[in-house]
Chains A and B, each alone.
Chain A
Amino acid sequence: MADPYLTIFLCALLTYGVRSGGHLLMTYFGTVHHRIEAGLNAVPIAVLSALVAPTVVTEGWPEAVAIVLVCLLSLRFSMLPSLALAVLALAMMRQIAGV
């Protein structure tokens, strides 16, 4: 594992980069090609779903159900209550599954 402080520092630098980058790009360029823009817009959807996908498939059924459940809960509630209810449901499902 890399030095944790190096990792933290680079993540902080990267975060500052995206928070200032949009402003600088708009100031100097104005517009970008529509395919690049569509690709940039898709970055969070594509990478985050790729990150979560194996969890849904490789853990047990309670975990898979909990992931689907929390998405459905987010239709009705904001992030924090959705997570709280899903965590509660997961704890109960794990009891039932006997793990």
Chain B
Amino acid sequence: MSQQFLDTEGPGWVERGIISTEQLQQLRALYPAQPRAIGLLPLLGSILVGLSALSLVAANWQDLPEALRLALLIGALMAAYAGGEYFLARGQRGLGIGLVSLGLLLFGAGIVLTSQLYQLIGYDVTGLLAWVVAGVVLTYVYQSRTLLLLTVFIGALAQGYSAGSLSSYSYATAALTAGGLGYYWWRRPDGFCGVVLATGLLWQSALLIDFLHIKITWFFVPAMLIYAVGDWQPDRPAARAWQAPPLVAAFLFMLGLAMFGEAGSYTDRLRPQLVGFLGALLLVLLVSVAGKRARGRLASTADWLLLLPGYYFPGGLPLAVAALVVLYAYSGSVLYRGFREQAPERVNLGTVLFVLTTMVAYFKLTWDFLNKSLFFLLGGLLLLGLSWYLRRQARALPPSDQPPTPQS
């Protein structure tokens, strides 16, 4: 309950005699005003200041003597960290962390500019790796979400550079992101950080698949491993956020298959060697289900419907239909769980997914054959019927069958 809510509603309760003025005071004391969360502002602010300083120095950079340039870099770096400590010691956490973030950015700039200063060419990603290490260390030292988010981006950048410019994969960067930042998130679970970190890990997984030149469907083995970690995370809301990016990736991939799978020209790039791939995926499934069991969330096993390997069907129409079946199974399961657990957001999500799938199915399968008004009429009736059926199902459930309220 927020202070603001008590402020607006409280006097009304007192007026109606529901609570006394004293009780309102007690309630206010129970829910003290939270210090305003600034969140992204210090991060963005520090990025802007960093960029401006960078462009100013960069404009005159070449004219400065080498030693001065080096001193400038190190001086700015130390000043930013010292400033961060100064404000943190005075309780201004937002500003302090902002300056520490700036210091971290300046460290990266320092590595790049110093290499450039000496026209130094490296053939591995050591410099950027040091940047990632610094980010992970500072995340722990300052216990900061902002630094974690920044380090996810630095890791993504380092891996992108390694893959794009050096044609190599930095396993150390991947391990630091997954192990270092992942462990921090595990101990300090948080929804937004979960989404960003999981997305960063998906990016690094995708680069790995590209680097190894293996079939792109292998991507879903690391992706679902990320998902499975969420199953073991005790904090339910943070775990759901963490699991969203892999699920979104799987859904989009299936949607793409349903839409373009017919072409068949690239389907040979989707089919990894059957036993190895399915074995690996099954192993991840076991890890995931074990986690769901341990945390009492077996109902969410339906998420795995998205991973049904429909792409082993021959290209063309069978493949598109198989992808559609997978999509329908998944969105149907989301809807069903939404109604069963009386969770409106999930019902809405399920509806959107269902409509999306239906649209694809329509355009794919019936657009050419059906009269257009009949086409939309059928779609509408289908959804209305489904909603009616699910509501009836939900009402028929005995109250005791309701799942327990989400544990923290």
Say whether A associates with B.
no
Q: Which residues of B contact A (CB under 8 A)?
A: none
